[in-house]
A and B are shown apart, each in its own frame.
Chain A
């Protein structure tokens, strides 16, 4: 099993640009999570999907952030427009029941 796959691994963009992060969960898992990690705030849950349906998006910082899960094998996190304070490592995780499997993360730098 390849584990959770995230792309790109690194993204550098300029303020105001749209950024799309992608995630492929582990096959058969029915829950998907997006997290953000910064030095200041640590690891924060942004949104959680179960069976492709968003269950809890209370961690999404503002309307510039949106997440979709069109099918069981793909999810996106979009930031439009991006700002320097969005610079962070974004992790995707998937789960079937007891625990979560995390991807390698996408390091986003917004200049």
Chain B
């Protein structure tokens, strides 16, 4: 089973639409969760961290469900500039529970927003 699994899409939505992406992770010991954005042929850029209580940054809302090992990203009022691939990212602590973790990246969900 892969460490991180994402809905691959692609999602094609009109401007102004609301779109949601889902992600599941396999390691219940994971402690840090992120959404990264990657434009075509560019580097991934941190979009937002995901906290247990859920968090919002403008039009973007991230939710974490530890019991189900599930992460989501909601984008409201989509803009053309939101077109990109969204990567779900999860850390994995070492077996000794240290803070030395590694990140595992999902394959990404492609979003295209059309005018």
Indicate, yes or no, whether A interacts with B. Answer: no
Q: Which residues of A contact B (CB under 8 A)?
A: none
